Amino acid sequence: MPEIQEIIEEPKIDKRNQLNDLTAKEWIQETKSFFFQKGLGAKSPEAKYEKMHPAPFSFTDITKLIRFFTKEGGKVLDPFLGVGSTVKACLETNREGFGVELSPKWCEVTRQRLSEESNYEIDDKHLICEDSRNLKKYFNKDFFDFIVTSPPYWNILEKKDHKANERVLNGHVTKYSENDFDLGNIEDYNQFLDELSAIFLNCYDILKPGKYMNIIVSDFRHKSEFVAFHADLISKLTNKEVKKHFVLKGIKALMQNAKKLYPYGYPFCYVENIHHQYILILQKVNERS
């Protein structure tokens, strides 16, 4: 009998899939409501730039989001770029990354990082050292395929706790900047929430119809109060009384299992070690007539 060869078909991307370049199996895996943070590792040479920032976010985690919410060649914006993790993730996945960052210091760190790690000399079109309140000054309507960022979490970096003390001992900064326009320097929480929400609602116009915005946030404590930051922000961005509002499509938990445990509250009361972040998955809907 002739030898029978097993024919294995290559996984195919559904022709109707206008969102990403994933097969059905890959797509389904990414719809879990959680995933575990995958850092670079303390000894990785690429970790040095992320550790400089007081609130770093790993490009490896952003890469997962970019792969799901865009196709190759898509335009991606991070309106709070920090040390450039989103642009680096775009370079790794063949997307076109743009970033806006208020601090000249972090803009310069981003340039150095991308040059050193990715051999990429970013230009002033793709890295805008400016206030994110002015986003629409730089980008046209319906320009981006995806917006992803991790914004300031109010002024929680001002807290003097175990983590802040460790950063000081290691010679790292404990706040974003001294700039008066820095959202992290606003003292009143409600004012902070209003100004942050206004920036994200301005993203509505520069995002293409039907496309998504992902915002990575964490709840936090302020003195003795637990602040449900993620819920407050959702309420602002999905307010149906606002003509240009987003639709919440899901909340994904980013589990930070490798974080250190600290003896908060011991031995008097329950104080949580917050070891997860929320990824708010928002979609641009059609404008109300």
Measured CA to CA, the distance from residue 206 to residue 77 in angstroms comes to: 10
The pLDDT score that the predictor gives to residue 180 is 82
Give pLDDT, residue 202: 96
pLDDT at 103: 94
Q: What pLDDT sits at residue 157?
A: 62
Given this model, what pLDDT does residue 88 score? 96
| Per-residue confidence (pLDDT) for residue 179, from 0 to 100 | 79
pLDDT, residue 45, reads 67
* pLDDT score of 41: 61
What pLDDT shows up at residue 243?
A: 87
For residue 7, what pLDDT is reported? Answer: 45
Question: In which element (H, E) is residue 269 found?
Answer: none
Q: pLDDT at position 119, please?
A: 96
pLDDT at site 1: 46
Q: How far is CA 121 from the centre of its chain?
A: 22
Per-10-residue mean pLDDT of the chain, 289 residues long, equals 51 93 96 88 68 75 97 98 95 98 95 96 98 96 97 74 54 66 91 97 97 96 92 97 94 93 93 95 77
Q: Which two tokens stand for residue 59?
A: 């490009």
User: 134 Cβ partners below 8 Å, 6+ apart?
Assistant: none
pLDDT of residue 165: 54
Within the chain, strands assigned E span 34-36, 75-78, 96-100, 127-128, 144-149, 207-217, 220-222, 225-227, 246-255, 276-284
With H, G, I as helix, E, B as strand and everything else as coil, classify residue 100.
strand
Please report the pLDDT score of residue 275 as a whole number. 95
> Which residues have C-beta within 8 Å of that of residue 124, sequence separation ≥ 6?
none
- Give alpha helix (H) positions in 5-143: 24-29, 47-52, 59-69, 85-93, 104-118, 135-138
pLDDT value, residue 40: 62
Q: Domains plus CATH for the chain? A: 35-284 (3.40.50.150)
